[in-house]
Structure 1
């Protein structure tokens, strides 16, 4: 991977404001995009060279997340999406969004989430035990990835042995979140192919589940319930795809970014070791300080006056959630990691009608795994800092996080 000899702060200082978002998408910025976000917030609402409007201030983002004149369907912008991925509920507007979300929420209840607590603990114990006597491990491949994948497969009723198949598809499809105009035709073709292959896999899976229903979430979506109609055909396939991918990708990054942050703050890690109950507010601070989802794309359905300017109807808009969560106008000392920060109304799970459906499950997993990693990994150290990051800017996290340890505690 080519790396820049200039720091992100230097790039931010020398880049015209109208080209800052292009720098956010650049792979060289992946390890530390926050100086770029600081530069963007100097003008919380700004038009970039390619016509995209970027919103980076907390109050402005919060207003637009709750504004019905903002659309999640990018076909409402004056340029079409680059890829042919079928639209899930996160890129739909009411009433279609509300119906599909209601169908999922009718099955994905707080009781269902809580029922996984014991299973998550069992999985964490097994994954840490598997490190054995080795003194080097990749936190991503050995713990942060397999944990949420196992959980979401169990929840949906997806055969765990098929994980290697959808792992590659999920990695490829994550690139669509950037809506990056620099994607080559070959890359766009790979994304479209991955979407089609995953679609065929899920069509077969949901067809089999319709013939032999169980107690999993896919079966629940097929039958519906008192509060929702059943989902069938393409709607069921597309919704299942969303749950399968979003149900583990963001949690992988939450766990990995969380451990990386703790290792960069040894005083807080030591406090956490002696105060495991700190995990609840600390996970919220991780969601603010190093969120998995950095930004989301939107389109305007009307002219919108905000931040001292007017965004015209039909404009592509990027809501810089991670920049808003570090806005000094809203958060005191925003670039400091404060594990018990209160209040902490971050954008780590988005906001408005598209607030993350899987937030309760992601919180549960992070609140269980992080204390166990801190308790059981003896003297963990980063092998490389910064680590090698995944290519996607919108869904940001390390591809690998290699740690040296003195051993595994029981």
Structure 2
């Protein structure tokens, strides 16, 4: 089995890092007519800023040899979100989306959510009624960012169960396809995308008639220097924010607690000093990033990397998690060390497609981890490694079973 298929094999999900170490020995890896895979820090960083690398899914030529290839671009009922577009369309839609989300137009939006976010996570911890067996995913890591993104966008919280199913299906559509029926998987994903789109279309129409104090209203009604979003643009952007607004944060929080429980000295330091959550989250984004790799990029021209010419039109993978542990960039890369003086990780990507929701994800993870560290008495893992989600792209435990001696007030 070649190394790419080992990486996407679920049997290796609990610890893919030895495989990434092996992959880095061939900085530009290519097998037959499969994708070109780049795994070293400086090369990934360079390609993330290279205008010759396209994120537009419409430029991607699907290949049977690419185990993460998708037919999403064929027959999808919704056009790509700005995450899957190139300039100038990407830049225009990202600017428009950013107006109600952050600086310079809404500089305090995330900052002003601090007390509400802390109240939400505290309430979830208050609700833990069986400290002898806690599933941190089901009881904290998942409901926390879901509640937050619902409030931010203006999605009724009572509808959470509906889009939980849609979100799981769309996240699963990123999963590698080995022996499964790719056509059937893509059909299921398209149906989920359509159903979610129809649901959000109804909310957008309501907000256009009666705006509220939420992002959905601003996306639907705002007229800035770039004009107004069309209904379809508001729809695809809302789908992106709703799914991306919680999927990766769930993994960041869960990976974070797993790592802290494996490093009890750091957990104790966090319990005593909540401000340590800031460097801890940055080191987690390097050490156990929720987004492991960026597949489905393509090249608009020949690009030379380490003496290898990646030809125009090639499929490109950037393995962020391998770059984050590149010993040419980080000293002792396999050591979890929040005291690092320079944690310029790739956990949120880089360049024009760097994670749009990074400020919110950081704050959510900092608050969740510091509150869990403070309030759980003598927490300990009940299963290590825990069961992992299928996805090789969005890597994180499906459940995280923990016991503690009690919940502090």
Matched with 1:166 is 163
**1:44-63, aligned counterparts within 5 Å?**
44-63=27-46
Unaligned runs of 5+ residues in structure 1 are 1-14
Counterparts of 2:301 and 2:100, CA distance in 1: 35
Preserved contact between residue 96 and residue 224 of structure 2 (Cα < 8 Å): no
**1:10-409, aligned counterparts within 5 Å?**
15=1, 19-79=2-62, 81-83=70-72, 84=76, 86-109=79-102, 110-132=107-129, 134-178=131-175, 180=177, 182-184=179-181, 185-297=183-295, 298-409=297-408
Post-superposition offset of 1:338:
0.3
Residues 81-133 of structure 1 show CA distances to partners (whole Å, capped at 9, x for unaligned) of 32236311111000110011001111101311112101011111111111135
Counterparts of 2:58 and 2:224, CA distance in 1: 33
Counterparts of 1:276 and 1:106, CA distance in 2: 31
Counterparts of 1:329 and 1:160, CA distance in 2: 46
Post-superposition offset of 1:208:
1.4
Distance 1:218 1:360, change over 3 A: same
Q: Which moved more, 1:333-342 or 1:129-138?
A: 129-138
Counterparts of 1:398 and 1:57, CA distance in 2: 25
Matched with 1:9 is none
Post-superposition offset of 1:191:
1.1
- SS of residue paired to 1:107: coil
Counterparts of 1:181 and 1:296, CA distance in 2: 18
Post-superposition offset of 1:276:
2.3
Preserved contact between residue 136 and residue 402 of structure 1 (Cα < 8 Å): yes
Preserved contact between residue 144 and residue 256 of structure 1 (Cα < 8 Å): yes
Preserved contact between residue 299 and residue 314 of structure 2 (Cα < 8 Å): yes
Matched with 1:12 is none
**TM-score calculated relative to the size of structure 2:** 0.93
- SS of residue paired to 1:299: strand
Post-superposition offset of 1:50:
4.4
Post-superposition offset of 1:79:
2.2
Post-superposition offset of 1:182:
4.9
Q: Which moved more, 1:368-377 or 1:275-284?
A: 275-284
Counterparts of 2:313 and 2:393, CA distance in 1: 22
